[in-house]
Amino acid sequence: MSETATGSAKDKLLAFKAEDRVSDPASVEMLDKAVTDCVDTCFGRVDTQRSVCAFGKNCYLGPCRITPKAPRGVCGANADTIVARNYVREVAGGVAAHSDHGRRLVLLLHKVAQGRGGSYRIADEPALRRAARAYGVEEQGRAKEAVALDLANLFISEFNRQEDPLATLKLAPNRRQGVWRKREVQPSGIDRMVVEALHRTHIGVDHDYRNLLLHAFRVSLADGWGGSRIASIVSDILFGTPSPVRSRANLGVLGAKTVNILVHGHEPALSEMLAIASREPEIVAAAKAAGAEGLTLAGICCTANEILIRHGIPVAGNFLQQELAIITGAVEMLITDVQCCLPSLPEVAQAYHTEVISTSDTAKTIGSSHVPFDEGNALENARALLRRAIANFKNRNPRKVAIPKASQPLVAGFSVAAIKYMLGGTYRASFRPLNDAIIQGRIKGLVGIVGCTNPRTKSDAYVNALTRELVKRDFIVLKTGCAAIASAKTGLLTPEAALEIAGPGFREVCEAVGIPPVLHMGSCVDNSRLLEAATEVVLEGGLGDDLADVPAVGVAPEWMSEKAIAIGCYFVASGIDVILGHPFHIGGSENVTRFLNQETRELFGASFQVCTEPQEAAEKIMEIIVRKRERLGINRQAERKLYDMKDRRALDV
């Protein structure tokens, strides 16, 4: 009986009656014994974790607050376990979002291959055949539909395979595949990896923070070399491989006298159809009949990036501009699909005439009108939405309209195929000129600047300051997501403007091959294109035989979403260092922080670093790149060489 427990240690361990906490005599007996043996149990720890968070977390023993006085949660998990668990769940959330996006496209390809795709078709047969060859699907002499069906089935198996590693991992350089094998982080089926992440982080499963964090990297690889990569490949097959296209960005793209429709979110299937329908003469005529001068279709966030890089549809803004776009008073309809669409949008829209329409059954918002998108009638759905927006034009209140003038020209759409073509032409498409420029030192290295905008810092400021600094220092900058839009709005995506600030050697290369120094490669799932580009550099030769050898760094200055965490992880697991503008929520565990910021270097050849200022990030990038260049034996200052006509012909551009 607990009354027998005496002494201060025992009092601390059992400041309660055992009978009040357990019902059966065996347990009462053992609780008493625990006191005698000075062993702490969850029955004691629950008293040190009384201030329960009302917002909830992933376990109802707590949520626990770990402090020096209460170093273990009720179940016994310490800070390392809790922080690692939460981190794995964040990564899994990001992977799930990207990969579900990929899955929907794969299922659409499956339908198209069987002639059940409605208005959709295989828009880019060379992209289909390229992908088939990459995955070992027989394509020669076969109808495109048959090839597409085999490829779609293979992609479906990437989601549900149970034990074998993902086939997509084979797109990575051999050495990197070896690293993943050695570290035992090769992911199997994408869905299985996400399920396993949730399983491991359930109470009472995986408690070893290292083991947990290794799964964070494993599941992230199922994104970058799985769901996201597949999403980009299938988007190219269904909607066309992006190639450079001119357009404009910022709220000034909205028309004062046109019906304005914004698409917002991530999945491209509906927005593709809206892009087509918005140009149909009947729709334009309907807009004119309603008193407008026509229609302006524009985008927010990554849906914007998808239709920008394929159709040149203008971008109204990035993540932090979604509410501001409505506040122009000039938006007839804002159509959301999934991810990054704020739940506040309908409330903001109440002050104006804007109709907010949600279209995905997985993403509804109170206050939005829900119009489920039916892929089988996609073009009809798109036309109906546009007609509804046109009908709303008469409700626009001119007194509430104020469209900013600001918008900047841009060039976007740099898929790897497009870059290869620009570098080598149709017959000799290759990365050779880029590799040579890096080896000669005219280009110091590749930097991917990706991710979100975040109201905790001045929006877009870090992204653009760093971009300018890097271009000045002869880095080629690859961009995706909201970071790409941030730079578009300041004119950094025009070759002319960016070339003005580029270092002299780099500028010569850009001018010679006709490539701008800042390349917009697409949406957030298209971060897989950055890995594809780094892989091309390795395969081209002369810059090592692993991704970790390539002078390349990833930066997420203003990140905020779980997807950004997943991206960071698959970059690091791929051997590419990642700089964050602000830290993960891991400060509660020194061990987890050390693992992610240091120990991963031993495992993968790369790690995370936090630089809260752009200048600090630029210095850190220089340090990493110089180290890599030294290891490659190419860290010498190249003689400045002006390209003459012979050189230019040699580059075949």
Stretch that binds ligand BF8, among 175-183, 421-429, 556-564, 608-616 (CB under 6 A): 556-564
State the nearest-atom distance from the C-beta of 619 to ligand BF8, in Å: 25
**Amino acid (1-letter code) at residue 40:** D
- DSSP assignment of 241-257: ----EEEEESGGGS-SS
In whole angstroms, how close is the CB of 339 to ligand BF8 at the nearest point? 6
Q: How far is the CB of 66 from ligand BF8 (least distance, A)?
A: 29
Nearer to ligand BF8, 94 or 575 (CB): 94
Does residue 452 belong to the site contacting ligand BF8 (CB under 6 A)? Answer: yes
Which residue reads 């427990």 in tokens?
5
158 with 228: CB under 8 angstroms?
no
Q: Is residue 563 involved in binding ligand BF8 (CB under 6 A)? A: yes
Tell me, residue by residue from 256 to 295, as one string, x for binding to ligand BF8 by CB under 6 A and - for no binding.
----------x-----------------------------
* Distance (Å, whole) CA 376 – CA 574: 38
Segment interacting with ligand BF8 (CB under 6 A) among 124-132, 195-203, 559-567, 589-597:
559-567
Nearest to 404 by CA among 262, 257, 296, 252: 252
Give the shortest CB-634-to-ligand BF8 separation in angstroms.
Answer: 33
How far is 542 from 539, CA to CA, in rounded Å?
Answer: 9
Nearest to ligand BF8 of 87, 319 (CB atom)? 319
Q: Which is nearer to ligand BF8, 335 or 340 (CB)?
A: 340
319 binds ligand BF8 (CB under 6 A): yes
Q: What is the widest separation between alpha-carbon atoms in the chain?
A: 96
Neighbouring CB atoms inside 10 A of 76's CB total 14
Give the span between the Cα atoms of 624 and 630, in whole angstroms: 10
Q: Please, which residues have CB within 8 angstroms of residue 76's CB and are 6 or more apart in sequence?
A: 42, 45
Between residues 544 and 557, which has the closer beta carbon with respect to ligand BF8? Answer: 557
The nearer residue to ligand BF8, 266 or 442, going by C-beta atoms, is: 266
Q: Which of 254, 441, 427, 276 is nearest to 332 (CA)?
A: 254
Question: Least distance to ligand BF8 from the beta carbon of 564, Å?
Answer: 6
Which of the stretches 21-29, 178-186, 325-333, 560-568 binds ligand BF8 when contact is defined by CB under 6 A? 560-568
CA distance 166 to 157: 9
Sign for the CA dihedral angle at 287, 289, 290, 292 comes to positive
Residue 131 or 484 with smaller CB distance to ligand BF8: 484
Q: Measured from the CB atom, is 192 or 563 closer to ligand BF8?
A: 563
Among 118, 413, 451, 614, binds ligand BF8 (CB under 6 A): 451
**β partners of residue 448:** 478, 554
502: left (phi over 0), alpha (psi -120 to 50) or beta: beta
For 146-269, where are the E strands, in sequence order? 245-249, 259-265
Nearest distance, CB of residue 562 and ligand BF8, angstroms: 8
Q: Compare residues 335 and 452 and give the one whose CB is closer to ligand BF8.
A: 452
- Contact between 524 and ligand BF8 per CB under 6 A: yes
First to last CA, the chain: 88
Tell the smallest beta-carbon distance from residue 341 to ligand BF8 (Å).
9
- Nearest approach, Cβ of residue 264 and ligand BF8 (Å): 9
3-state secondary structure of 300: strand
- Distance, in Å, from the CA atom of 39 to the CA atom of 24, rounded to the nearest integer, reads 20
> Please, which residue, 424 or 451, has the CB nearer to ligand BF8?
451
Beta strands in 537-636 (DSSP E): 552-556, 577-580, 608-610
- Site size toward ligand BF8, by CB under 6 A: 15
Is residue 301 near ligand BF8 by the rule CB under 6 A? yes
Candidates 309-317, 463-471, 558-566, 629-637 — which segment interacts with ligand BF8 by CB under 6 A? Answer: 558-566
Q: How far is the CB of 567 from ligand BF8 (least distance, A)?
A: 8
Query: Which position among 561, 574, 589, 591 is part of the footprint of ligand BF8 (CB under 6 A)?
Result: 561
Classify 478 as helix, strand or coil: strand
In sequence order, what E strands does 450-500 have? 475-479
Asked if 618 and 473 count as a contact pair (C-beta separation under 8 A), the reply is: yes
Length, in residues, of the chain: 653
Binding to ligand BF8 by CB under 6 A, coded x per residue (else -) over 465-504, reads: ----------------xx----------------------
Q: How far is the CB of 419 from ligand BF8 (least distance, A)?
A: 21
Exposed/middle/buried for residue 641 (C-beta within 10 Å: 0-12, 13-18, 19+):
exposed
Residue selected from 340, 357, 386, 488 as contacting ligand BF8 according to rule CB under 6 A: 340
Q: Which amino acid is at 66?
A: I
Min. distance of Cβ 498 from ligand BF8 in angstroms? 21
Task: Provide the mask over 394-433, with x wherever binding to ligand BF8 is found by CB under 6 A and - wherever it is not.
Answer: ----------------------------------------
Binding ligand BF8 (rule: CB under 6 A), the pick from 13, 152, 169, 302 is 302
User: Is residue 93 within the footprint of ligand BF8 (CB under 6 A)?
Assistant: no
Residue 531: what residue type? Answer: L
Residue with tokens 């491209």: 268
Which residue's CB is nearer to ligand BF8, number 424 or number 568?
568
Residue closer to ligand BF8 by CB (options 151, 452) is 452
Contact 537/543 with Cβ under 8 angstroms? yes
Which lies closer to ligand BF8 via its Cβ, residue 49 or residue 336?
Answer: 336
What Å distances lie between residue 9 and 14, 15, 33, 34, 161, CA to CA?
A: 9, 10, 13, 11, 52
Q: State the nearest-atom distance from the C-beta of 88 to ligand BF8, in Å.
A: 19
Torsion of CA 587, 616, 478, 601, to 10 degrees: -50
- Which parts of this chain interact with ligand BF8 (CB under 6 A)? 266, 301-302, 318-319, 340, 451-452, 481-482, 523-524, 561, 563-564
